[in-house]
Amino acid sequence: MLKKFMVLVALLVPITAVGADKAKDEEPVEHLTDEEIYEQLKKFALVFEVARDNFVEEADEKKMLESAMNGMLQALDPHSSYLSADDFKEFNDKSLGEFGGLGIQITSDRGAVRVISPIDDTPADKAGIKAGDYITHIDDEPVFDMTLNQATKKMKGRPGTKVKLTVVSEGEEPRTITLKRAIIKVESVKYEVKTMADAEEDTDEKIGYIRISDFGATTSKEINKALEKLEKEDVIGYVLDVRNNPGGYLTAAIDVADAFLDAGEIVSTRGKQKTDIERNYAKPGDLANGKPVVVLINHGSASASEIVAGALQDNGRALVMGSQSFGKGSVQQQKPLGDGTAIHITIARYYTPSGRSIQNEGITPDIEVLQSKIEVLERKESLYSEASFKNSLKNEDADSDKNKKKSDDDEEELTDEEKDALDYQLQRAMDMVRAMATLKERASVVPATPESQAVLDAEILGDDDADADSKAKDSDDDSGDAAKDK
């Protein structure tokens, strides 16, 4: 049996070599010889047999081996892992845009589970879980001894069932929340026409708002449809919102960036070898017709979101606003092992058109706009007015109900327009689109030159002379008519 097990383990070794690309500059990798690798594998097999034979309870060999393989891959980086048959099937189901769970994208961070971002309109999003939060317990069980796949599996389950999470946000006390699992249907692209919160009702400054919650299999078609519809509305520019977007398919990110570009590089991926470079370029045809674009990012914008923001930023096609993005600049690929299982392994890094690596750095916005709360400095009703004077006359026609102030408990749910008004980053982005559209309109005006001005002056003088001749002629006609009358 030992011999068979050695063959099984030895078959895994070449696979790990595909993605072992995490050498640290300060600690060069010391490669083992074939003989040393064989000795380590013998030790591994020995550990397996001793543990199985001596553990106080019945050992689950499958669980032991899968955990060992997963640990081997996670030693490379947080995004590489072993996928059991069930995990691999769930991964493929999720890629198709529908899956069961809480709607939360997570990663491993020094043994803890960290939230990359919640997906829009999912149980996690509605419960107030934010990018950067840490999950420390799932159903009162600590996550520190779990793999990322195990933590993910514990949060998934039959729709309608509940799961309890202990969540820690920066600078706050841990809180325990109970969420109800649901079928997560990801509509990756939402779009609408928006106007500024302080705009006049009859304003013609319509802004196209496109929200991408993740980059899935249908995102490419959805972005094309959104731009086609919004162009018919004659918008003056676009806000592309990828805040809290955890990423997704590389091809979808390339297609989204291409929709706004007429030419230029979008992204390059570079693998382990110096020759492993692949570049992706935009095809002719800007579906936004050159109109101003502002990309909104934040700490929850990762991977594919950063590719789009970096491509539009480096090509000078868009202004990036918000806060520093997540910094996941690595490419993962699924490599099936032939028995329904697979490994999810990092094979390359992303680079923006200017050659910047996104990994651990993220995208720096052109204009940093942190999400803020607008404070009203002027009272709606002044403390000092006619009504504040003692014995002032009352207004008998005033509707007393209008003077009643609602308590906090009686406040109605905010409308979409009111939510937009409170979204400080969105308002600033739309403000910027409006300013960029104005500048573009002014730039289309041809500046006057001395020669063109002389022609214009001559035309004006010619018109004045013509007016004078016309007036003189009218005067002569009047004189003639007067003579006839006499």
Among the candidates 165, 185, 205, a domain finishes at 185
Are 17 and 87 in a shared domain? yes
How many domains does one find in the chain? Answer: 3
Share of the chain above pLDDT 90, in %: 48
299 in a structural domain? yes
In this model, does residue 147 exceed pLDDT 50? yes
170 in a structural domain? yes
In this model, does residue 354 exceed pLDDT 70? yes
Beta strand 141-142 with 134-138 is antiparallel
Domain of 252, in residue numbers: 189-327+362-368
Are 201 and 299 in a shared domain? yes
Provide mean pLDDT across the span 454-479. 61
Q: Has 328 been annotated as catalytic?
A: yes
Provide mean pLDDT across the span 202-211. 85
Confidence band of 475 (pLDDT split at 50, 70, 90): low
Q: Which of 303, 305, 323, 325 is catalytic?
A: 303
Are 261 and 172 in a shared domain? no
Provide mean pLDDT across the span 17-44. 74
- The answer for residues whose C-beta is within 8 angstroms of residue 62's C-beta and 6 or more apart is none
Are 304 and 207 in a shared domain? yes
Q: Has 213 been annotated as catalytic?
A: no
Confidence band of 200 (pLDDT split at 50, 70, 90): low
Which has more pLDDT, 12 or 131?
Answer: 131
Most confident listed range (18-32, 200-214, 236-250):
236-250
Among the candidates 185, 220, 241, a domain finishes at 185
Are 322 and 256 in a shared domain? yes
In this model, does residue 403 exceed pLDDT 60? no
337 in a structural domain? no
Which range is least confidently modeled, 181-190, 251-260, 310-319, 469-478?
Answer: 469-478
Are 92 and 4 in a shared domain? yes
Q: State the chain's mean pLDDT as an integer.
A: 81
pLDDT digits (tens, 9 = 90+) for 236-273: 999 999 998 989 889 999 999 999 999 999 999 999 88
Among the candidates 68, 96, 124, a domain finishes at 96
Give me the CATH number covering residue 194.
Answer: 3.90.226.10
Are 80 and 123 in a shared domain? no
pLDDT digits (tens, 9 = 90+) for 358-383: 999 999 999 999 988 766 555 445 44
Give me the CATH number covering residue 118.
Answer: 2.30.42.10
Q: Has 206 been annotated as catalytic?
A: no
Provide mean pLDDT across the span 206-219. 93
Are 66 and 23 in a shared domain? yes
pLDDT at 446: 64
In this model, does residue 53 exceed pLDDT 50? yes
432 in a structural domain? no
In this model, does residue 26 exceed pLDDT 90? no
Confidence band of 396 (pLDDT split at 50, 70, 90): low
Are 176 and 210 in a shared domain? no
pLDDT digits (tens, 9 = 90+) for 84-109: 888 888 777 665 555 678 988 888 77
Q: Which of 94, 194, 291, 328 is catalytic?
A: 328
Are 214 and 319 in a shared domain? yes
Confidence band of 412 (pLDDT split at 50, 70, 90): low
Q: Tokens 């709360």 belong to which residue? A: 373
Which range is least confidently modeled, 157-161, 333-337, 372-376, 404-408?
Answer: 404-408
140 in a structural domain? yes
Which has more pLDDT, 10 or 346?
Answer: 346
Q: Which of 21, 87, 120, 314 is catalytic?
A: 314
Are 219 and 122 in a shared domain? no
453 in a structural domain? no
Are 296 and 242 in a shared domain? yes
421 in a structural domain? no
In this model, does residue 449 exceed pLDDT 90? no
443 in a structural domain? no
pLDDT at 394: 66
Which range is least confidently modeled, 168-172, 304-308, 468-472?
Answer: 468-472
pLDDT digits (tens, 9 = 90+) for 340-353: 999 999 999 999 99
In this model, does residue 13 exceed pLDDT 50? no
How would you write the chain as a 3-class SS string? Answer: CHHHHHHHHHHHHHHHHHHCCCCECCECCCCCCHHHHHHHHHHHHHHHHHHHHHCCCCCCHHHHHHHHHHHHHHCCCCCCEEECHHHHHHHHHHHCCEEEECCEEEEEECCEEEEEEECCCCHHHHCCCCCCCEEEEECCEECCCCCHHHHHHHHCCCCCCEEEEEEECCCCCCEEEEEECEEEECCCEEEEEECCCCCCCCCCCCEEEEEECCECCCHHHHHHHHHHHHHHCCCCEEEEECCCCCCECHHHHHHHHHHHCCCCEEEEEECCCCCCEEEEECCCCCCCCCCCEEEEECCCCCCHHHHHHHHHHHCCCCEEEECCCCCCCEEEEEEECCCCCEEEEEEEEEECCCCCECCCCCCCCCEECCCCCCCCCCCCCCCCCHHHCCCCCCCCCCCHHHHCCCCHHHCCCCCHHHHHHHCHHHHHHHHHHHHHHHHHHHHCCCCCCHHHHHHHHHHHHHHHHHHHHHHHHHHHHHHHHHHHHC
